[in-house]
Chain A
Amino acid sequence: MFIKKAMTSKVISIDIETEIIKAHEIMTKNNIRHLPVLDKDNKVIGMVTDRDIRSAMPFNLSKKEKQNIKFKAKDIMTENPYTISSLATIQDALLLIQKNKIGGLPVVDENNKLKGIVSVRDLLSSFINVLGIGEPGTLLGLVLEEKIGQLKKIVDVITEFKISMGSVLVARYQEENKRVVFIYLLTNNVIPLKKKLKVMGYTLIDPISWYI
């Protein structure tokens, strides 16, 4: 999936002269944690996070004392922050975020102009979508031999029972040459499918022994 589909398009931004008390207010009011800093051409020149603000604003100050803090965005922002293109993929964003230990990325066009923002929260929503768990379903765990065509046989049986799949995850199993497959089935009616798979000789995994 591309970033364009996962990003938030309506982005609230600030300029370098914005006072941090104001930036803090904007974040609290809008329940956001990242504010891209733009120049007059809408180009991204910095990023201010809630953490930057907390670091610049001691927690024990009174409201009045906070008003006296005259730091501006330019004093605390990360200059030339990591950015990502709207045509990059979610995988790109995940790896970039993980590698650089950041919480969000401004999405920019080829001229570095702001197009959106993608945060860890947006990526989580995408993951919920990929896992299919936003829809009612049942998890089925199976042990398969690591041979070409194994999954096809399973999918054929699922299709025979007219069941839709929300997601399929494949993981290593403790025994060599075996894989465990978790299929999220969009149904409550798994009994006939399980019976058929058992008759075909497949091992359904005990979820608890797998997880513990």
Chain B
Amino acid sequence: MKKTGFLFDKRFMLHKTSSFHPEIPKRLSAIYQGIEQSGLIPELFLIKGEKAELKWIETVHDKNYIKNFKDACFKSKETFQSPDNQICTDSYETALLAVGGIIKTIDLIMQNNINNAFCAVRPPGHHAEKAKAIGFCYFNNIAIAAKYLQIKWNIKNIGIIDFDVHHGNGTQNIFERDPTVFYYSIHEHPSFAFPGTGREFEYGEEKGYGFTLNSPVLPGQGDSKYMELIKNDMVPGFERFKPEIILVSTGFDAHMDDEMSDIMLSTKCFSWIMEQIIKIADKYSNSRLVSILEGGYCLKRLPELAKNHVSIMINCAKDRIKDKV
């Protein structure tokens, strides 16, 4: 039986922010502990980070932007482009390690060594635009993953599902003119939450019109609204698009105990969402799925949420074996 991949590396914690910042290294230790203490590690294919080649970062980001980010880190600047984006000397290298780890994970999936994988990386990526760091994000991990799949593995249709509570403005912006990448995001309504994009009427631009789909949710609407929109927007969207692989921007910050948002999702609902995503991957994408960590800031809840997320991925692989028997 093919295992589920788990990309984790202590070096992802080298990117440090200040004490007032929510995107902190402890998020990753919480996630790791949750998975380890549930005894899931032996069931996982463990993957370490490795430095990505610049050519892959350049498939998404401007050379000058990459250089400026590198310089800011090496010169020990405290922030990059905005006070939100706190950095340290190791931030650039950590971001490269994260992207390289994701690329390695993709290779393992495409070589049929693993079915699916959870990439617990820092820094997150989905807000980062071509030449702009936004909302704690520097390199758009998921966008680079999509480009890598297209260039290296000749994958034509890529589906991206983003359930971080904030809209992935960067990912949308990078692919909004591209009909080969279908981007779906469910998030807190942009009139209330960061970054203020992802409105219902944003469907993509030019050739990419119809290949972006947003489900904004008003504060406090919780599980029932998410379930309704996932059934009515996300599932039919992917039925039409039929992605060859699914990439997931996984954020746990819509949880009711996460102070970053007012959506109020239950732990159970996160599991339900992941089950729906797995069903789509099973139906259209030969079960190929890469989940990449974005937000999620409640240290108390992250262990359980990450454990559930990964168990669903493992159990789906087991269920498939059972079905065949």
Contacts and interface: CB of A to CB of B under 8 A. Distances in A.
Contacts of B135: 136, 188
Interface stretch (B60-68, B176-184, B189-197, B242-250): B189-197
Given A191-B22, A192-B20, A208-B219, A163 B83 contact: yes
Interface of B: 20-22, 82-84, 127, 134-136, 166, 169, 191-197, 218-221, 259-260, 262, 297
A183 to B, nearest CB: 12
A187 B22 contact: no
A208 B83 contact: no
B22 A136 contact: no
A189 B84 contact: yes
Interface of A: 133, 135-139, 161-164, 186-192, 194-195, 206-208, 211
Contacts of A208: 218-221
A138 B83 contact: no
Chain B contact residues, majority secondary structure: loop
Contacts of B262: 206-207
Q: Which 6 A-B pairs have the closest CB atoms?
A: A136-B195, A188-B135, A188-B194, A138-B194, A192-B20, A208-B220
Contacts of A191: 22, 259-260, 297
Contacts of A163: 83
Contacts of B83: 162-164, 187
A133 B279 CA distance: 37
Contacts of A188: 84, 127, 134-136, 166, 194-195
Given A136-B135, A188-B127, A207-B262, 12 more contacts: A136-B127, A136-B196, A139-B191, A139-B192, A187-B82, A187-B84, A188-B84, A191-B22, A191-B259, A191-B260, A191-B297, A207-B219
B218 A138 contact: no
Contact of A206 (B20, B82, B136, B220): B220
16 contacts: A133-B196, A136-B194, A137-B194, A138-B193, A139-B193, A186-B82, A188-B134, A188-B136, A188-B166, A189-B21, A189-B136, A191-B22, A206-B219, A206-B262, A207-B219, A207-B262
Given A136-B169, A137-B194, A188-B135, A161 B219 contact: no
